Structure 1
Amino acid sequence: MIIDIDELSSAVMNELNNWSEEKSKKINDYVKKCGKEMVEAIKNDSPKKTGDYANGWKAEVKTGKGYVKIKGKNKKRPELTHLLENGHRVAGGTKMTRKFPHIKANEEKYNKLLLEDIKGEFD
């Protein structure tokens, strides 16, 4: 391919834009995949007294220009997430309930995996 010197700048910028869009798409795919895996792991690690809480976990995907965001949400019993993750005082305030750490550990694990995938894309 032969490029005139006057068109070199626009050709370089065009190639950089194509490369940037390609990398952006791959990173978005990594985020979506990793986010869905994280929500599945939280669902598997959730306490399952009746199953409603564990089955309520869903991945909410938001995309915009230059970003993708995945948020794990419990649609059926959102009020329990903090109470189960951290424990809470029972009525009367004398005892604490048992903790069921299932959100933070999975969040940290999948954030590290996502960063490794993205770093691998640019190496």
Structure 2
Amino acid sequence: MANIPIDRLADELTQAIREYTEDVEMGVRKAVEKTAREVLKEAQALAPKRTGEYAKTFVITKDDSYGVARRIIWNKKHYRRVHLLEFGHVKANGEGRVKERPHLRPAYDKYGAALPDELKRIIENGG
């Protein structure tokens, strides 16, 4: 351990805390990005495929602000269709229902469930 003069102690503590915070922030952003890519890949694999265009138009949008790392996975071209496929809907003629084809929620449940444990590990280890 280095000898630190008492008048520099506050500066050294501040610097150590700043480095820890930056390391944790970078680790959290990387973990969130990795999880988002995994969810996107799984959602594209589970998406209904008639022509394949629907699955290809899923994208990740970054919504970051100070202290928040958020990724939104959505369908850029067919965004109005997602909830109809995910949860099913009444047929156009009103007779019966179209069966649901879950693809986003199972992908999120599969990979998103491990994210809190990963974030806890990052915080405990300092990045």
User: Is TM-score (shorter-chain normalized) higher than 0.5?
Assistant: yes
1:47 alignment partner AA: P
Map of 2:18 onto structure 1? 17
Matches within 5 A, 1:55-74: 55-74=56-75
Count of aligned pairs between the two proteins: 123
RMSD value over aligned CA atoms? 1.4
Residue 83 of structure 1 deviates from its aligned partner by: 0.2
What is the 5 A alignment of 1:73-84? 73-84=74-85
Q: Percent identity?
A: 26
Q: Which one has more relative contact order, counting CA pairs under 8 Å at least 6 apart?
A: 2
Q: What secondary structure, in the 3-state scheme, does the structure 2 residue paired with 1:68 have?
A: coil
Find the counterpart in structure 1 of residue 40 from structure 2: 39
TM-score by length of 2: 0.89
Q: What code does the residue aligned with 1:14 have? A: Q
Shift in Å, 1:23: 0.8
* Alignment gaps of 5+ in structure 1: none
TM-score, normalised to structure 1's length? 0.91
SS of corresponding position for 1:64 = coil
- Aligned residue for 2:22, secondary structure, equals helix
2-11 or 15-24, larger mean C-alpha shift: 2-11
* Residue equivalent to 2:94: 93
Once the two structures are superposed, residues 43-78 of structure 1 have per-residue CA deviations (whole angstroms, 9 ceiling, x without a partner) of: 000000111111111111233322221110101211
List runs of 5+ in structure 2 lacking aligned partners.
none
1:7-31 deviation line (CA, Å, top 9, x unaligned): 2122112101111111110110110
1:52–1:77 Cα contact (<8 Å) kept: no
In structure 2, the residue matched to 1:114 is 115
